[in-house]
Amino acid sequence: MLDRIINQVNPGIDYLFYDFLILLAFLIIVIIIGIIIAVLLIKKRNGEKKRDHSNYLNDIVSENNIASKKQEQNKQTIKILKERLAKGEITKKEYDELKKEFE
C-alpha cells in the first residue's frame, strides 16, 4: 500500500536511477575514447620525431655518397684527359684548363 502511494506521488524514482546509469555509461565511454585518442596522438608524435631523426641521418649519408660519387667521376674525367693528352688530341694548356674545372 505504501509503495502504491509513493509511486502515485513520484512514479519516476526508478527511472531516475536508470537515467543516471545511462549517463554514467555515456561518460565512461567518452573518457575511454578520449584516452584512446590521446594515446594515438602521443604515438604519432613520437613516430614523427624518430622519422625526422632518421631522415636527418639518411640525408647525411646520401650527401656523403653524392660527394664520393662526384669525386670518383672527377677522377675518371682527369684520367680521360690524361689519355687524350697522351694521344695528342688536346694540348698541355687545354689539359691544365680542363683539369682545374674538375679538381
1 assigned to some structural domain:
no
> Could you state, in chain order, the average pLDDT of each consecutive group of 10 residues for the chain (103 residues)?
54 65 90 94 75 60 71 85 86 86 75
Domain count for the chain: 1
Parent domain of 41: 11-102
6 assigned to some structural domain:
no
Residue for cell digits 502504491?
4
- 20-51 burial code (b ≥16 CB/10 A, e <16): eeeeeeeeeeeeeeeeeeeeeeeeeeeeeeee
Tell me what pLDDT residue 70 has.
79
Tell me what pLDDT residue 29 has.
96
Tell me what pLDDT residue 10 has.
55
**How far is it, in rounded angstroms, from Cα 31 to Cα 28?**
5
